[in-house]
Structure 1
């Protein structure tokens, strides 16, 4: 077991190597910084445009979706480029991508079907679905990246009808449950895999695993906070009935 002094030395080595790797990677790939900066600026501008257009919309969903997409892309990049540095992590890494992706698409499809045949707002949802069939299908498929993408349809973003899907309380509870399950079948396992990867390679790591670890941690923290807020902010079934009436 490492004593405190050895542990501090190991952490210092890791931090020094992380700084060096970040500097070298961005030095050799300046377009990366430009791209990230450009995307970030675009998201901020788009957020303020959406907020000015309709302040009551859940406009912060823009950043959440961007984070989830980035997290998924980095997970794939990690499996393709780096996981073979620690071979026994390949299969678990692959499963933490494929299993949640399949589960999310299936769950999104179930939610859409459930809403279509709902007694409370089925007709209202059918009318919305008829107006946006193509986009609803696209978002169902894209939910494989993360179930949060389906929630974009209820965000009232830009006050567009597309993003004002009349999901009822049952759908919100289903999406909450799916998101919670994702924490245990995707977010936590991926974080553990990355920790094991760094333990396996020591300080001989590259930029992609380092950036993936950082984004994975931010994504996990964001998801945990979102789940807590969703849990305490669910409208009651009574208030939902009053809303529809």
Structure 2
């Protein structure tokens, strides 16, 4: 079974989910952004096809204690999504080279036979089982990607072992990935599962859609807290 090292870029909480304003205040947005990351990481860490998770960014505002299964590297300057992803991929390749031959023959560094992937950190409806199905489908292609629910962005991009991997996250990334030869995975998964991988959250409408799919525990709790906060604010203003 092909497994993957996944890179997950994480934004600073103060800069995350600005498009949820003015429906949610800054504290509620930060709480939801934190929860989205935690649910995404929980799904990735529990997936059987994920060998290692490499976070690029600062997790100090997300977790009091970093799980040993996570590799966390600082976001490079100047900060951008492209730079963070490139840095994470380079770190994944460096770690793979550093792994010694498990047979001990010759004591030489073994080439990793794992795939590489990039997973966005705002997929609050993602489950380990869904991610495993998506990565299983991806494993049949040298390069693959999952477009977001709107069909213009990308939530997941993968490459087989020893494959050149330069994903094109950002505006219109779905078109760019198709142009670069990435296989579109959106028709390879059952409808009930594919939306969980595609449903990133940047707007209130997207949050509502993710809630209908079923949020992870961190996101469910954060959304409930945000709603209580909003209700309290409205009652105080009345």
TM-score by length of 1: 0.25
Q: Would you tell me which structure has more helix in proportion to its own residues?
A: 1
TM-score by length of 2: 0.25
